Structure 1
Amino acid sequence: MLLTALALCTFLAQEPSKPAPATGVWRAWLDSPGGELPFELELRSTDGKWQAAFSNGPEIQGVPLTKLEGNVLTLRFGHYDATITANVTAEGKRLDGEWRKLRGPSEWTVLPFHATHGVAPRFADGPAGDPAAFAGRWSARFEADPAPAVALLDPREGGVIYGTFLTSTGDYRYLAGTHTDKRLRLSCFDGAHAFLFDAQLGEEGGLAGDFWSGDRVHDKWRARKQADAKLVDPQSVLRPKPGARFDQLSAIGMDGRLYSLAEPPFAGKLRIVSLFGSWCPNCHDEADFLVELDKKYRARGVMILGLAFEVTGDVERDLNQVRGFAARHSIEYPLLLAGKADKGAAARFFPLFDRIEAFPTTVFLDAEGLPRSAWSGYSGPATGAEHTELRERFEKLIETLLATNSPGAAETWGALQKVSWLHFGASGGLGLSFLADAKGNPLVHERVYGIVEDQPDVEDGDEFTLQQERVVPIAVSNLGLSYGARAFQFDRAAQVLVNPWDCGDRLAPNEMSCAPLLDPGQFRTATGFPKALRHDTTLVRREAAAALALDARAEIRALAPQLLPLLGDSAPEVRAQACWSVGELGLASARAPLLENLAHTSPAVRREALRALARLFPSDAEIAAAIAKLRDDVDPVVRKAAGGKSGALAERTEPAAIPFENR
């Protein structure tokens, strides 16, 4: 029976005077634009509590919420934001109503729903045809999609046939139907998908027919038998963009707060990032596998992370959907809300690759946040051998990447503790020293300095006064640290701590300059800075741009125009730093390239360009209008910097300070 071993939430006994639906198997269907879209439904009642399940071929899916109120039966698929509501008629032997699924902020897919009690064929098409005419692997093409597809068809006894289609964006999951001498019909309904295929077998053995999805998609398709039919390798579809970094991105956590993806909770020796949606059945299939990988590899330093792209744009509602997704699959790895369910918007949010073709897209990043591989789409359990191959290739790739040596959190913590870290600017300064409590837990001693005249307790220079200090717990990873609303990336090569949300917020070891990488005699002179700004090494150019803006010497600040070429640098991190620097130096001649950088693919570049423009041209109407457009940017930090809303529902809380006598 379909409901064996299903654990379902059910409610509400029916009123005695109303007809209750008959228990057992029902033939159900949706009135799709292509005709009846059938599937099998089973209902069961125990002590007035109702349970329901659907079947598509070998797959049986329980309905998370089934309830009967009066003569109205409701089947709720909360994880897909979809519902069937039906009236019980004909003495409990018929159901009539509708299926509704949210597909946009205020858009719904709606189809009439019906069901009659009793076992009946999925399609009543007449005598079965020759199974051999349909069985096997087919090369398929859909008119609306230039990419090749593969059909897998598996005839069973009595004219029943199971199958699926593999496409470049994922598979069509479990299809079931019938075949006659010349006709093939397949369907699937799982709460989210409503698929209907109808095709004729031609004289030369090819298939040609129609495909309908939901209430508005119709396409033509053709297929021919081909034993070696296959898709383009999903690991070769996407191309990484030079210089793009994962740690430039930000998203909203399940607590409604904004996080940088450079922070310790999202770090690892290897990171597997899934771009997914709770509305996407293939993403649900992938989540089950990612949960397995998380249990197997977390202890070895693999961090799995999900970035959700949801349908409404309503942060609170979308977060609830993602929380439901996590609960359904018992997910323990971090999930964050990244944006709306649109491939173009996802590509703009996640600029590490040339495009995003599918949900899910699975990205493999090294310890530094650089892309090492990506997998477009997902071949789920319905694809059989393809799913087995995918699992094997994922694990082989993980093992290969784990074999690469990279510094861990312990190495970063050791480097941080060796020195104090300081930054002093025109309006004040910040000092950080790192220590551990009696149990070895990491702490930071934070000191905030200001310029306050005539104060006796002056430290680190006559113009700076210690204004406040505290000791608080911190989180540390191989990439950096965070505490409360503050986060810093540790750039091991440059020996600096940099705020991932602000290029100008950087600290260096106290005995060194603001850019320890630059040799003072070679680069930090009036003749050396121009060489550093044109250096072949990305890191040298970035550090030179930062150091020039922070240098108080008049002869060095006079070199500011030489930053202009860096506003067009090929490396996003250099561009972002140069944008901040020209704003810090008041370089009005940077107006045109800064405006161009408002459209850059890197959120760090857009963020620093708009801040520089706002600082340099506070009364310029054209600048104000250009910045205002970024209030709808895909990146939450850019939106906030432009005067819009980040989307966060709550502010980050500060950790409780540890009393100095107990530090």
Structure 2
Amino acid sequence: MKKAVATLLALSSFFVGFSQTNIPKSTWRAALQRGVYDLPFGLEINPKANGKYEVFVLNGSERLAMDEAYMVGDSLHIPMLIFDSDLVAKVSGNTLTGSWKKNRNGVWISVLPFKAQKGEVHLFAKTPAKTTKNVTGKYATYFYRAERKDSSFAVGILDQKGTKLSGTFLTPTGDYRYLAGDVVGDSLFMSCYDGSHAFLFRAAILPSGKIQGGLWSGISGYQPFIATLDEKAELPPPTALTYLKPGYESLDFSFPDTKGKLVSLKDERYKGKVVVLQLSGTWCPNCMDETRFMVPWYEKNAKRGVEIVGLMFERSPEIKISGPKIDFMGKRFGVPYPLLLAGTNDADAGKSLPALNKVAGYPTTIFIDKKGRVREIHTGFSGPGTGKYYDQFIEDFNALITKLLSE
């Protein structure tokens, strides 16, 4: 009887595998659908063994690895588990048709329709005509926030080569990562998808040189914006948003790691060392960019007398819920330093660190000297998609660490 069951299971597995559609190594033009508009990005799909696939999302110069993709029947699942996100699409010849799904409270729901066409490589214009417009430069940008009846400021960095366009927008709490698109006539189009965020910019290039249009984000977000060429446009200092309240010069905390072990700056590991606190979250793409920088930096510099501690602010305060997400992030990026569950990423996040006036954004990086005193608090992160701003961040980071170590 056991032998017969084993044989049936083997045959079942054979036929399931046999019926699955196989996708060859290929590049696809993918798009999420926000109403009548496409939000395009590239996909690179490389087959592995046993119906598994290696998949990369292509956003301009970024080649972003997704988690291992797999077939279920005739549908391809492309997960980004760290963001509770999944592209699920039926494979039919050279097309993929399905949806972008997100997990909410343990339930997978459809977020936006998704489609992809094999062999296509364009984003917005398949064969864009030459244009007389060139939007390369730095822009003072204002995004209107209807819910607050005000606007937020950003610095736009655009680079146009022919009709191809790349760039990003820097805000006081982070950047819009890798945006890519086209200039078509007197209009520009850019987009980005990273498993968590989906951004679509559509705008007119006005005769005055200003750029005016809209930002479509996620499921239903929309913000009008206007950008003016201004090479002197700058954000407020990143050290001005979060600071110690009067009367404080240090931080005192005790937070658990994912196994429940409490970690404190008073622990022997941190005595007499320069410590960098990384206020982060597994839901935050900018935090992932900072972690990609922090991990190799720490591995190279820890022996100098520097420690890093990740303080994770998650959607749930429960270790049984947030712990696996933190562990997954740690494994994905090979994080060698402690990651602690510090609180939730809501309006009350600052209560976890009462010496701070507030937690204004993620990531926030706190630099502590050998005597345990907070010396600088830096809100936001200018990631690799920001070019020279990323280079400047690295230079400033290293200079500050060297200064603190020399004291």
TM-score scaled by structure 1?
0.55
AA in 1 matched with 2:80: F
The residue aligned with 1:141 is: 142
Q: Distance in 2 between matches of 1:397 and 1:323?
A: 30
Q: Distance in 1 between matches of 2:400 and 2:314?
A: 29
The residue aligned with 1:116 is: 117
CA 1:72 to 1:105, structure 2 compared with 1: closer, same or farther past 3 Å? closer
| Aligned-residue offset at 1:139 | 1.1
Unpaired runs of 5+ residues, structure 1, are 1-11, 405-663
Aligned pairs for 1:171-190 (under 5 A) are: 171-190=175-194
Aligned pairs for 1:314-329 (under 5 A) are: 314-329=318-333
- 3-state DSSP class of the match of 1:309? strand
Which of 230, 238, 244 aligns to 1:240? It is: 244
- 3-state DSSP class of the match of 2:134? helix
Q: Distance in 2 between matches of 1:170 and 1:232?
A: 12
Deviations 1:18-63 (A, max 9, x none): 4434541111111124721111112222454422111000011122
| Aligned-residue offset at 1:152 | 1.0
Structure 1 contact 34–212 (Cα < 8 Å) conserved: no
The residue aligned with 1:370 is: 373
Which of 311, 321, 339 aligns to 2:343? It is: 339
1:98 is aligned to 2:103: no
1:76 is aligned to 2:79: yes
CA 1:14 to 1:24, structure 2 compared with 1: closer, same or farther past 3 Å? farther
The residue aligned with 1:17 is: 19
AA in 2 matched with 1:69: V
Aligned pairs for 1:279-358 (under 5 A) are: 279-342=283-346, 344-358=347-361
RMSD: 2.4
The residue aligned with 1:262 is: 266
| Aligned-residue offset at 1:105 | 8.0
Aligned pairs for 1:512-523 (under 5 A) are: none
- 3-state DSSP class of the match of 2:140? strand
Structure 1 contact 93–117 (Cα < 8 Å) conserved: yes
| Aligned-residue offset at 1:86 | 1.4
The residue aligned with 1:359 is: 362
- 3-state DSSP class of the match of 1:338? strand
Structure 2 contact 134–160 (Cα < 8 Å) conserved: no
Q: Distance in 1 between matches of 2:313 and 2:402?
A: 29
- 3-state DSSP class of the match of 1:177? strand
CA 1:219 to 1:104, structure 2 compared with 1: closer, same or farther past 3 Å? farther
Q: Distance in 2 between matches of 1:317 and 1:131?
A: 53
AA in 1 matched with 2:122: P
Q: Distance in 2 between matches of 1:120 and 1:367?
A: 52
| Aligned-residue offset at 1:267 | 4.1
Aligned pairs for 1:406-421 (under 5 A) are: none
AA in 1 matched with 2:33: D
Which of 130, 154, 158 aligns to 2:159? It is: 154
Deviations 1:543-569 (A, max 9, x none): xxxxxxxxxxxxxxxxxxxxxxxxxxx
CA 1:282 to 1:34, structure 2 compared with 1: closer, same or farther past 3 Å? farther
Deviations 1:130-188 (A, max 9, x none): 4752111111111126442111111124x221111111110111011111121111000
| Aligned-residue offset at 1:372 | 1.0
The residue aligned with 1:39 is: 41
AA in 2 matched with 1:318: S
CA 1:13 to 1:142, structure 2 compared with 1: closer, same or farther past 3 Å? farther
Deviations 1:550-597 (A, max 9, x none): xxxxxxxxxxxxxxxxxxxxxxxxxxxxxxxxxxxxxxxxxxxxxxxx
Q: Distance in 2 between matches of 1:93 and 1:44?
A: 15
1:249 is aligned to 2:253: yes
| Aligned-residue offset at 1:104 | 6.9
Q: Distance in 1 between matches of 2:137 and 2:214?
A: 20
Structure 2 contact 280–310 (Cα < 8 Å) conserved: yes
| Aligned-residue offset at 1:126 | 6.5
- 3-state DSSP class of the match of 1:248? coil
- 3-state DSSP class of the match of 2:348? helix
AA in 2 matched with 1:392: E
TM-score scaled by structure 2?
0.88
Structure with bigger strand share is: 2
Structure 2 contact 180–192 (Cα < 8 Å) conserved: yes
Structure 1 contact 266–334 (Cα < 8 Å) conserved: no
Structure 2 contact 141–156 (Cα < 8 Å) conserved: yes
1:58 is aligned to 2:61: yes
Aligned pairs for 1:553-632 (under 5 A) are: none
The residue aligned with 1:589 is: none
Q: Distance in 2 between matches of 1:331 and 1:104?
A: 27
The residue aligned with 2:386 is: 383
AA in 2 matched with 1:231: L
Q: Distance in 1 between matches of 2:249 and 2:235?
A: 29
- 3-state DSSP class of the match of 1:36? strand
Structure 1 contact 273–306 (Cα < 8 Å) conserved: yes
- 3-state DSSP class of the match of 1:155? strand
- 3-state DSSP class of the match of 1:379? coil
Structure 2 contact 173–361 (Cα < 8 Å) conserved: yes
Structure 2 contact 245–357 (Cα < 8 Å) conserved: yes
Q: How many pairs were matched up?
A: 389
Structure 1 contact 33–215 (Cα < 8 Å) conserved: no
Higher RCO by CA contacts (8 Å cutoff, separation 6 or greater):
2
Structure 1 contact 125–179 (Cα < 8 Å) conserved: no
Structure with bigger helix share is: 1
Q: Distance in 2 between matches of 1:346 and 1:319?
A: 18
Deviations 1:64-103 (A, max 9, x none): 21111211211111222211111222xx222122212346
Q: Distance in 2 between matches of 1:350 and 1:33?
A: 42
Unpaired runs of 5+ residues, structure 2, are 1-13
CA 1:247 to 1:238, structure 2 compared with 1: closer, same or farther past 3 Å? closer
Q: Distance in 2 between matches of 1:109 and 1:240?
A: 42
Q: Distance in 2 between matches of 1:288 and 1:272?
A: 15
| Aligned-residue offset at 1:236 | 2.8
- 3-state DSSP class of the match of 1:231? coil
Structure 1 contact 128–179 (Cα < 8 Å) conserved: no
Structure 1 contact 137–227 (Cα < 8 Å) conserved: yes
Structure 1 contact 363–375 (Cα < 8 Å) conserved: yes
AA in 2 matched with 1:402: L
